[in-house]
């Protein structure tokens, strides 16, 4: 190979390598938030009054079309302190009813503001699993995290829009109390000590949300009359929206179904 | 007249075994088993050289350097186990572990991998400091003394990078830098083991000038470069900083360059064992690494996309892929070092054209 040829080959190899490296580095910016980002929301304006005499209720059932996937098996043998059921909850289908779907009013509330509930929402670690698997909470509302296992867990939310944190919680230690400042749907939470432990927190600005139970049912109460977009979000199956109009005092049934991916 | 610039070719007979270089495996083996010193003390047909007068073999130092290289390899495997088991943040604090600098926590779940990695890393730091002090006191080669200091600086930076991965929740660039520096440190530890080895100190390099272009030395440097790019691409993919395809596409480039280098080494210098052995090892590791990469892709990407937790096949294949990658990089570095020593670029090629045409006074 003469000098010209080998220079051409070498330059080509270097250029290709550099191009790939450049592409790789620019692919994903660090999405991590500044560690000094506050979790405390700014002083909330007074809640927009809602006439309790006109409020409506939206309820329904979420179904799963098709053959439900078999629950994946979990191997908990790496920690003798873990004695939970060894099935993953990713797609929880029972008789065609789909559990763990987060249902919320995505659009239609305008500039209404709502009081943040004083009561904490409880997230329990038991049997080396999170209970519940999917949780809804208002921005600024306290999440109380308990450990009922005889082993240490670490709680590690990996948000896109909220502050990331990672804390360990030994057995019999006091509950952790945390808040999330910004709206974020399907915020993953995991335990790095037990890699099968995953759950999702949904942070919303309104109290109009619910999570489907084992029978696929949900209910959203106290909704003022109006035109809304109701979103149904599943951790694996994605999001589906429905537009609904609710009249004063109406009890509306809004069902939804997800197809197997 | 390039021939006039060449030194006279060395034609003295050197026993075959003394031509062998302390490449990766032999360095490790010799360091542990040792060799009878008198086997290397045969009279040199060229007589004593400055090199042989200045430096004497220090068996203890060499063995210690080999232990550090082995320990570092173990550390790389332990680090790979942390990532493959998704256990990087199972101990949420640093430099303490669950608030303590010395207490060993209950080694279950992810803590087993993360804390073991930390303990092995502390051992590596200690070994590196001892090696640097020992080298500084016992070694006559100044550049090697500074290499020991460089190793200490590198191990400190590596420790801080490891801490940052915990403090910053595994940002892909930091985690990838931690992975890349780990293998750089491994290469340095292996190189120190080679430089302190009896062969390196006592053998007379069998010099053959490289007339072909690109030179073998250029090819080995190119191989190190593409391997480094591949290491960064792989680490970024592994730490969720990018897609898998750049790593896979670049594997073709790496295979081409490394095969070119190995084939050149084996065809041009089949009788220089110091070149032949790392070249053979490099091509063998390359084949193994490509197979492991394919297996890791299948288990992790194709089949394990929806896995509830890291499973044994994906952990085994990815950890093996990282370990063999480290061996491949270190072998390539050794090949480059031995090429630089045994097959230097012909001197006239280093001179500007104007200086090649001597003018009469």
If you count them, how many residues does chain A have? 261
pLDDT recorded at residue B345 = 74
pLDDT recorded at residue A67 = 85
Chain B interface disruption, residue of A190, A192, A234, A237, most B CBs within 10 A: A192
* A167–B253 C-beta distance less than 8 A: no
The answer to whether B229 and B173 are in contact (CB under 8 A) is no
Task: Give the start-end residues of each E strand in chain A.
Answer: 56-65, 93-94, 97-98, 102-107, 121-126, 129-131, 134-138, 143-147, 153-157, 167-169, 176-178, 184-190, 198-204, 209-211, 217-223, 226-234, 238-246, 251-253, 256-259
Tokens of A124: 């329990």
Chain B interface disruption, residue of A24, A27, A168, most B CBs within 10 A: A24
What single DSSP character describes residue B270? T
Task: Give the start-end residues of each E strand in chain B.
Answer: none
More confident residue, B13 or B132: B132
CA distance B261 to B331: 12
CA distance A257 to A59: 14
A70 min Cα distance to partner chain B (Å)? 12
A13 min Cα distance to partner chain B (Å)? 7
More confident residue, A69 or B350: A69
Domain boundaries, chain A: 56-259
B35 min Cα distance to partner chain A (Å)? 41
CA distance B129 to B233: 31
Chain B interface disruption, residue of A173, A195, A237, A261, most B CBs within 10 A: A195
pLDDT recorded at residue B50 = 44
Domain boundaries, chain B: 17-204, 206-350
Q: What is the mean pLDDT of residues B334-351?
A: 78
* A17–B225 C-beta distance less than 8 A: yes
* A72–B307 C-beta distance less than 8 A: yes
* B173–A78 C-beta distance less than 8 A: no
If you count them, how many residues does chain B have? 361
Q: Per-residue pLDDT tens for B188-232?
A: 999 999 999 999 998 888 777 777 889 999 999 999 999 999 999
Q: How confident is the model at residue B233 (pLDDT cuts 50, 70, 90)?
A: very high
A201 min Cα distance to partner chain B (Å)? 18
More confident residue, A73 or B298: B298
pLDDT recorded at residue B42 = 42
Looking from the CA of B101 toward its CB, the CA atoms found within 13 Å total: 2
Task: Per-residue pLDDT tens, chain A, 261 aa: give them.
Answer: 555 565 555 556 555 555 555 444 444 333 333 333 345 555 556 777 788 888 999 999 999 998 888 888 889 988 998 986 777 777 888 888 999 999 999 999 988 899 999 999 999 999 999 999 999 999 999 999 999 999 999 999 999 999 999 999 999 999 999 999 999 999 999 999 999 999 999 999 999 999 999 999 999 999 999 999 999 999 999 999 999 999 999 999 999 999 877
Mean model confidence pLDDT for chain B: 84
Q: Which of B11, B3, B40, B334 is nearest to B190 (CA)?
A: B334
More confident residue, B268 or A5: B268
Question: Is residue B45 exposed (0-12), middle (13-18) or buried (19+ Cβ within 10 Å)?
Answer: exposed
pLDDT recorded at residue A50 = 81
C-alpha pair distances (Å), A73 with each of A49, A145, A167, B34, B307: 48, 25, 27, 50, 9
Q: Per-residue pLDDT tens for B45-64?
A: 444 444 444 688 999 999 99
The answer to whether B71 and B233 are in contact (CB under 8 A) is no
* Nearest chain B residue to A77, by CA: B109
pTM: 0.80
Q: How confident is the model at residue B100 (pLDDT cuts 50, 70, 90)?
A: very high
Which residues in chain B touch residue A168, judged by CB atoms under 8 angstroms apart? 91-93, 98
Burial B264-274 (b: 16+ CB within 10 A, else e): bbeebbeebbb
pLDDT recorded at residue B51 = 47
The pLDDT > 90 percentage for chain B reads 71
Chain A interface disruption, residue of B81, B86, B89, most A CBs within 10 A: B89
Cα A185 from chain centroid (whole Å): 5
Closest CB to B87: pick one of A3, A10, A192: A192
* B110–A195 C-beta distance less than 8 A: yes
pLDDT recorded at residue B116 = 97
Q: Which helix (H) or strand (E) holds B237?
A: helix B216-238
Q: What is the mean pLDDT of residues B303-319?
A: 90
Tokens of A132: 């519940």
pLDDT recorded at residue B305 = 78
B289 min Cα distance to partner chain A (Å)? 19
pLDDT recorded at residue A12 = 60
The matching CATH number, chosen from 2.40.170.20, 2.60.200.20, 2.60.40.420, 3.30.70.260, for A56-259 is: 2.60.40.420
pLDDT recorded at residue B48 = 43
pLDDT greater than 90 at residue B39? no
Phi then psi for A109, rounded to 5 degrees?
A: -90, -5
* A24–B213 C-beta distance less than 8 A: no
* Nearest chain A residue to B240, by CA: A28
Which residues numbered 91-150 in A keep a CB inside 8 Å of some CB on B? none
pLDDT greater than 60 at residue B1? no
pLDDT recorded at residue B80 = 98
pLDDT recorded at residue B15 = 35
Answer whether A43 touches B (CB < 8 Å).
no
Phi then psi for B309, rounded to 5 degrees?
A: -155, 165
CA distance A104 to A201: 13
pLDDT recorded at residue B12 = 38
pLDDT recorded at residue B20 = 38
The answer to whether A231 and A104 are in contact (CB under 8 A) is yes
């Amino acid at each position: 190979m003469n000098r010209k040829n080998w220079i051409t080959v070498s330059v080509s190899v270097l250029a290709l390598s550099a191009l790939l490296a450049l592409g790789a580095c620019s692919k994903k910016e660090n999405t991590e938030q500044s560690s000094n980002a506050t979790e405390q929301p700014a002083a909330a304006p007074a809640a927009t009054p809602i006439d309790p005499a006109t409020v409506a209720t939206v309820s329904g059932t979420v179904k799963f079309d098709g053959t439900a996937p078999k629950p994946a098996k979990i191997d908990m043998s790496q920690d003798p302190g873990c004695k939970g059921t060894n099935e993953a909850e990713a797609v929880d289908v029972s008789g065609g009813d789909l559990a763990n779907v987060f249902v919320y009013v995505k659009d239609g509330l305008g500039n209404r503001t709502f009081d943040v509930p004083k009561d904490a929402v409880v997230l329990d670690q038991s049997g080396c699993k999170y209970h519940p698997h999917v949780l809804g909470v208002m921005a600024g509302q306290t999440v109380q995290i308990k450990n009922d296992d005889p082993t240490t867990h670490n709680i590690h939310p990996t948000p896109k829009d909220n502050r990331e944190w990672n804390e360990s919680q030994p057995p019999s230690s006091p509950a952790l109390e945390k808040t999330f400042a910004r709206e974020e749907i399907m915020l993953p939470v995991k335990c790095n000590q037990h890699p099968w432990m995953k759950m999702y927190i949904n942070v919303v600005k309104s109290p109009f949300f619910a999570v489907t139970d084992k029978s696929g049912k949900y209910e959203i109460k106290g909704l003022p009359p109006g035109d809304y977009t109701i979103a149904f979000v599943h951790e694996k199956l994605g999001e589906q929206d429905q537009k609904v109009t609710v009249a004063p005092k109406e009890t509306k049934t809004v069902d939804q179904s997800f197809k197997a991916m | 007249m390039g021939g006039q610039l060449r030194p006279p070719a060395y034609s003295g007979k050197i026993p075959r075994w003394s031509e062998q270089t302390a490449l990766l495996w032999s360095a490790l083996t010799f360091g542990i088993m040792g060799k009878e010193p008198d086997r290397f003390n045969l009279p040199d047909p060229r007589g004593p050289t400055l090199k042989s007068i200045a430096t004497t073999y220090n068996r203890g130092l060499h063995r210690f350097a080999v232990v550090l290289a082995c320990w570092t390899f173990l550390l790389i495997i332990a680090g790979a186990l942390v990532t493959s088991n998704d256990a990087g943040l199972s101990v949420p604090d640093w430099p303490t572990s669950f608030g303590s600098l010395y207490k060993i926590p209950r080694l279950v779940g992810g803590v087993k991998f993360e804390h073991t990695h930390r303990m092995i890393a502390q051992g590596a730091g200690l070994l590196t400091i001892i090696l640097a002090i020992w080298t500084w006191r016992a070694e006559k080669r100044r550049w090697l003394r500074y290499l020991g200091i460089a190793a200490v600086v590198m191990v400190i930076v590596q420790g801080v990078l490891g801490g940052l991965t915990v403090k910053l929740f595994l940002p892909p660039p930091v985690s990838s830098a931690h992975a890349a520096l780990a293998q750089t440190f491994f290469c340095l530890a292996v190189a120190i083991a080679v430089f302190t080895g009896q062969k390196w100190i006592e053998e007379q390099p069998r010099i053959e000038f490289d007339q072909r272009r690109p030179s073998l030395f250029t090819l080995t440097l190119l191989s190190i470069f593409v391997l480094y790019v591949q290491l960064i691409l792989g680490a970024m993919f592994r730490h969720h900083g990018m897609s898998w395809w750049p790593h896979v596409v670049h594997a073709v480039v790496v295979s081409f360059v490394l095969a070119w280098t190995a084939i050149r080494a084996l065809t041009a210098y089949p009788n220089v064992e110091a070149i032949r052995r790392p070249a053979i090892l490099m091509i063998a590791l390359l084949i193994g690494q490509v197979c492991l990469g394919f297996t890791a892709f299948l288990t992790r990407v194709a089949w394990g996309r929806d896995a509830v937790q890291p499973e044994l096949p994906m952990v085994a294949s990815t950890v093996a892929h990282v370990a063999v990658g480290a061996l491949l990089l270190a072998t390539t570095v050794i090949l480059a070092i031995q090429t630089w020593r045994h097959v230097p670029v012909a001197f006239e090629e280093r001179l500007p054209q104007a200086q090649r045409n001597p003018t009469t006074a």
